[in-house]
A and B are shown apart, each in its own frame.
Chain A
């Protein structure tokens, strides 16, 4: 009996912690994050390193904590700006996954859409002599259009030919990867780096070597765009009719069709928007953070963005928070490796675990409710029992 009470108080604490169903959209991702960070800490301890120092070095690598010493002309701002630089494509990519997910689609082709957008913008505008004022907006437009085309092609295959979007997106990822690798190696290769020739400074969305307060730093122009995109997508999903239709199709396609929503049109639209956002991610990645394309490699941003989207509950505001965290882990892992000596692979492992725990969300969501129901019932029974024993005082308890 005593054992049971102790278990009860634990369950009660669990229910109180996870909160009501409304609060759970925040508490469940937090729960997943905490679990994976603890798992990461255990791993670091197994490898014989202090996890606090390990996690601290992640923050230091991103310019969120002061390092012990800096090389000349560099400082906290340098690290922080380059952190913003790599954070930007992650926000776009996660938004791309989220929009598709709202419509019940799973866009795993973000990496491929990033690549084809970035490649076409590189060879058209990146290698031209256009003035920066024209070149930079042109890069953004081209990437969006190409990404949207690639995305809506997946949507077309989905509703015209009934092909699972995950399979077709993966096939397209490989097709883009190899075709672009062929073109780069045959026409645009830089003989020294074995990558594509770097794009001109006029087309790059990140300003290089800017001096601020005596520190050399980069300025990611795309970051402003990313914040705008977050606000626009938030408004679009929650406050417009088209956004509502998208969500209706995602929640129940049959019911939405019955209510007069054109499901096929919405599938195409969601994939086009998703592709355009992925294209923006490609622009800020290949013509911002980087300046060239490595053949036969897909950006891991596209796959990490799935984790970001799931953690952020596919909500644009949530995505800002979750991408902030995931980017710290992936970007900071380089400094963690060099300063603490922990292997860099640990970062992708922590992200993978986060994804795993986030995928258990449905179960975790059902759990507090069930526990709460059980506790409520138990309370009622106990109250009834007490009443019984009070009224039947004197009689022997036959249990």
Chain B
């Protein structure tokens, strides 16, 4: 039981912060299928940072991990500029732009990873190995019966994610900027009439989306993979999109969706271990989140209300 909670939380929270990134972009009216590319690009920047500075820190130091998360956020925001420019400045089809950004991220990080490995670090490898993250256990809370799992073997990044998510929630619902951002998604012309720069708000929203996805991607790189390689593109970005749609583009509800995905996955793995089935059966567990997504979307997407101007190309002269 405690295993399910430990694994469930360490999967759900990175997924959640990526989905929050998606919410930022979509509530501002820019369709974002590029989360997958953002998280990969962000994690790439973070991993490059740790690989290049590996000699500067003590081997057991946890500092590089925290720094790499900051770098990953910056890198994700930087990479998101491509999507923002394509959608907002060049007025490209936002769905196509998202897919293009994903494909480009995969090609670019694959190429650069092997090039940096060969050129700078002098080894032929297609991945950056990351340090093992410490895990914290809080006594005596950890020995509590059922909820003890929430305090056992916790990754430090889980607290970072919770802190960032609270800030993101506050910024979106309690500040003037957040209100304008949400208004952009519903009626950009009204925002324009009120004297705000719609393009700038959307641009910032997409970059925030990239930063949060970058953070989530780096956390995945540390927890699920333990390294950075192109295997990070396993569709978690799309899973986050599904969680966002299921959560009706609202931050608290999306957290619920992410927890559901994470715990379903963790429970499946525990079940396989418990029954002692061969490794190939884990493939069947892998599909659980995806099947769950489809089923949930079938039941809930009819009642969902997407931001009204989502995916519309904002043209100032149209008003």
Over the window 339-367 of chain A, the binary record of Cβ atoms lying under 8 Å from chain B Cβ atoms (1 yes, 0 no) is: 00001011011011101100111110010
- Interface centre among B86, B99, B278, by most A CB within 10 Å? B99
Whether A240 sits at the interface, judged by CB under 8 Å, is: no
Partner of B290 from the list A157, A163, A174, A346 (CB cut-off 8 Å) is A174
Question: Which residues does chain B contribute within 8 Å of A186, judged by CB atoms?
Answer: 278, 280
Q: Is the CB of B95 within 8 A of A167?
A: no
Q: Is the CB of B93 within 8 A of A359?
A: yes
What distance in Å separates the Cβ of A158 from its nearest Cβ neighbour in chain B?
10
From B43-51, B157-165, B294-302, give the one contacting chain A. B294-302
Question: Which residues does chain A contribute within 8 Å of B293, judged by CB atoms?
Answer: 167, 171
Q: Tell me the complex Cα distance, A181–B286, Å.
A: 11
Q: Is the CB of B287 within 8 A of A179?
A: yes
Interface residues of A in 280-337 (CB under 8 A from B): 296, 303, 306-307, 310
Partner of A181 from the list B97, B111, B283, B302 (CB cut-off 8 Å) is B283
Q: Is the CB of B91 within 8 A of A346?
A: no
Question: Which residues does chain B contribute within 8 Å of A70, judged by CB atoms?
Answer: none
Question: Which residues does chain B contribute within 8 Å of A363, judged by CB atoms?
Answer: 89-92
Whether B104 sits at the interface, judged by CB under 8 Å, is: yes
Q: Is the CB of B92 within 8 A of A362?
A: yes
Q: Is the CB of A163 within 8 A of B297?
A: yes
Interface residues of B in 75-107 (CB under 8 A from A): 82, 86, 89-93, 95-97, 99-100, 103-104, 106-107
What distance in Å separates the Cβ of A166 from its nearest Cβ neighbour in chain B?
6
* A174-B287, A345-B114 known; A161-B301 Cβ under 8 A: yes
What distance in Å separates the Cβ of A348 from its nearest Cβ neighbour in chain B?
4
Whether B59 sits at the interface, judged by CB under 8 Å, is: no
Q: Is the CB of A359 within 8 A of B86?
A: yes
Whether A14 sits at the interface, judged by CB under 8 Å, is: no
What distance in Å separates the Cβ of B36 from its nearest Cβ neighbour in chain A?
9
Whether A168 sits at the interface, judged by CB under 8 Å, is: yes
Task: For A182, give the chain B residue with the smallest CB separation.
Answer: B283
Task: For A184, give the chain B residue with the smallest CB separation.
Answer: B280
Whether B173 sits at the interface, judged by CB under 8 Å, is: no
Q: Is the CB of A175 within 8 A of B107?
A: no
Question: Which residues does chain B contribute within 8 Å of A346, judged by CB atoms?
Answer: 111
Main secondary structure of the interface of B (DSSP, over half): helix
Q: Is the CB of B108 within 8 A of A359?
A: no
Whether B291 sits at the interface, judged by CB under 8 Å, is: yes
Q: Is the CB of A179 within 8 A of B294?
A: no
Question: Which residues does chain B contribute within 8 Å of A356, judged by CB atoms?
Answer: 82, 86, 100, 104
Q: Tell me the complex Cα distance, A113–B297, Å.
A: 21
Q: Is the CB of A306 within 8 A of B103?
A: yes
Q: Tell me the complex Cα distance, A108–B293, Å.
A: 17
Partner of B291 from the list A175, A296, A351, A360 (CB cut-off 8 Å) is A175
Q: Is the CB of A170 within 8 A of B238?
A: yes
Q: Is the CB of B238 within 8 A of A171?
A: yes
Q: Tell me the complex Cα distance, A162–B300, Å.
A: 10
What distance in Å separates the Cβ of A306 from its nearest Cβ neighbour in chain B?
6
Whether B110 sits at the interface, judged by CB under 8 Å, is: yes
What distance in Å separates the Cβ of A241 from its nearest Cβ neighbour in chain B?
27
Q: Tell me the complex Cα distance, A67–B30, Å.
A: 49
Q: Is the CB of B110 within 8 A of A182?
A: no
Question: Which residues does chain A contribute within 8 Å of B90, judged by CB atoms?
Answer: 360, 362-363
Partner of B108 from the list A174, A307, A352 (CB cut-off 8 Å) is A352
Whether B131 sits at the interface, judged by CB under 8 Å, is: no
Whether B201 sits at the interface, judged by CB under 8 Å, is: no
What distance in Å separates the Cβ of B225 from its nearest Cβ neighbour in chain A?
15
Q: Tell me the complex Cα distance, A168–B291, Å.
A: 10
Partner of B297 from the list A168, A307, A348, A351 (CB cut-off 8 Å) is A168
Q: Is the CB of A303 within 8 A of B280?
A: no
Whether B170 sits at the interface, judged by CB under 8 Å, is: no
Whether B245 sits at the interface, judged by CB under 8 Å, is: yes
Whether B252 sits at the interface, judged by CB under 8 Å, is: no
Q: Tell me the complex Cα distance, A185–B278, Å.
A: 10
Task: For A345, give the chain B residue with the smallest CB separation.
Answer: B111
Question: Which residues does chain A contribute within 8 Å of B96, judged by CB atoms?
Answer: 106, 310, 359
Q: Is the CB of A178 within 8 A of B108?
A: no
Q: Is the CB of B107 within 8 A of A352?
A: yes
Question: Which residues does chain B contribute within 8 Å of A366, judged by CB atoms?
Answer: 91
Interface residues of B in 261-319 (CB under 8 A from A): 278, 280-281, 283-284, 286-287, 290-291, 293-294, 297-298, 301-302, 304
Partner of A307 from the list B82, B103, B238, B287 (CB cut-off 8 Å) is B103
* A161-B297, A343-B111, A349-B111 known; A355-B103 Cβ under 8 A: yes
Q: Is the CB of A360 within 8 A of B86?
A: yes
Question: Which residues does chain B contribute within 8 Å of A362, judged by CB atoms?
Answer: 90-93
Q: Is the CB of A168 within 8 A of B294?
A: yes
* A167-B241, A174-B290, A175-B287 known; A182-B91 Cβ under 8 A: no
Over the window 138-150 of chain A, the binary record of Cβ atoms lying under 8 Å from chain B Cβ atoms (1 yes, 0 no) is: 0000000000000
Whether B181 sits at the interface, judged by CB under 8 Å, is: no
Q: Is the CB of A179 within 8 A of B92?
A: no
* A167-B238, A178-B283, A181-B283 known; A162-B290 Cβ under 8 A: no
- Interface centre among A345, A346, A349, A361, by most B CB within 10 Å? A345
Question: Which residues does chain B contribute within 8 Å of A359, judged by CB atoms?
Answer: 86, 92-93, 96-97, 100
Known contacts A182-B281, A349-B107; 19 further A-B pairs (Cβ under 8 A): A157-B294, A163-B294, A163-B297, A167-B245, A174-B286, A174-B290, A175-B294, A178-B284, A181-B280, A182-B280, A186-B278, A186-B280, A343-B111, A352-B100, A352-B108, A355-B100, A359-B100, A360-B86, A363-B92
What are 16 A-B interface contacts by the 8 Å CB criterion? A157-B294, A161-B298, A168-B294, A168-B297, A171-B291, A173-B235, A178-B284, A306-B99, A343-B114, A345-B111, A345-B114, A349-B111, A352-B103, A352-B104, A352-B106, A363-B89
Top 6 A-B residue pairs of the complex, sorted by shortest distance between their CB atoms: A363-B90, A352-B107, A345-B111, A185-B280, A182-B283, A352-B104
